[in-house]
Amino acid sequence: MLIVTAKMPKRKLALGVAAAALVCCCALALNLGQSLTREVSASTLPSPKGVKSNQDRVDYLSAYGWQVAEEPLASQELLIPERMDESYDQYLSLQGEQGFDLGKYAGKRVKRYTYEILNYPTGESGVQVNLLLHKSTVIGGEVLSPRLDGFLHGLAMP
């Protein structure tokens, strides 16, 4: 057994303890601030339920910060496949990252509404947003550029 002792003035010891306590308090405050930010961000997301009308869809998208044309460019009825092969993996992953689970809707008919985004951050025109709805619940969505060198990402503003 090894015992080490040191003689230290009480003033320096108190200063060291105070500094350690200050560092711990700062770390806790930062951690608490980050978790509160995550909770506020999650709570400010729009509810995917009760999206019945065109105005509800426009409001849903505006909650993400998007300004869209008042009327959709297109609306289509789609059938979610019963079984999805690996060609769907990336798309399912994108939807899953946003909290949407398309697997629950396998074999069901859904509606896809496509709107033009008027305020894409890069200023690019022609950017579109799709919303997938089953009855009055948003079950998926994405933002995309239909250009050849286009992009595809979730509903959140980049």
Is residue 20 located within the same domain as residue 69? Answer: no
Is residue 14 located within the same domain as residue 63? Answer: no
Is residue 69 located within the same domain as residue 144? Answer: yes
2 within some domain: no
Domain that holds residue 64: 54-153
3 within some domain: no
4 within some domain: no
| Per-residue pLDDT at 32 | 44
| Per-residue pLDDT at 10 | 59
Q: What's the burial of 133, exposed, middle or buried (CB within 10 Å: 0-12/13-18/19+)?
A: buried
DSSP H helical segments within 45-151, as ranges? 54-63, 89-97
Give the mean pLDDT per block of 10 residues along the chain (158 residues): 59 47 43 42 71 95 96 96 90 94 94 97 95 96 94 94
DSSP state of 86: G
Is residue 29 located within the same domain as residue 78? Answer: no
| Per-residue pLDDT at 50 | 86
Ramachandran quadrant class, 46 (left: phi over 0; alpha: psi -120 to 50; beta: rest)? beta
Nearest Cα neighbor of 48 from 34, 38, 63 is 63
DSSP state of 46: P
| Per-residue pLDDT at 11 | 62
Is residue 144 located within the same domain as residue 93? Answer: yes
Is residue 67 located within the same domain as residue 129? Answer: yes
147 within some domain: yes
| Per-residue pLDDT at 129 | 97
Instruction: Give the count of domains, the chain.
Output: 2
Nearest Cα neighbor of 141 from 99, 81, 83 is 99
Entry pTM: 0.70
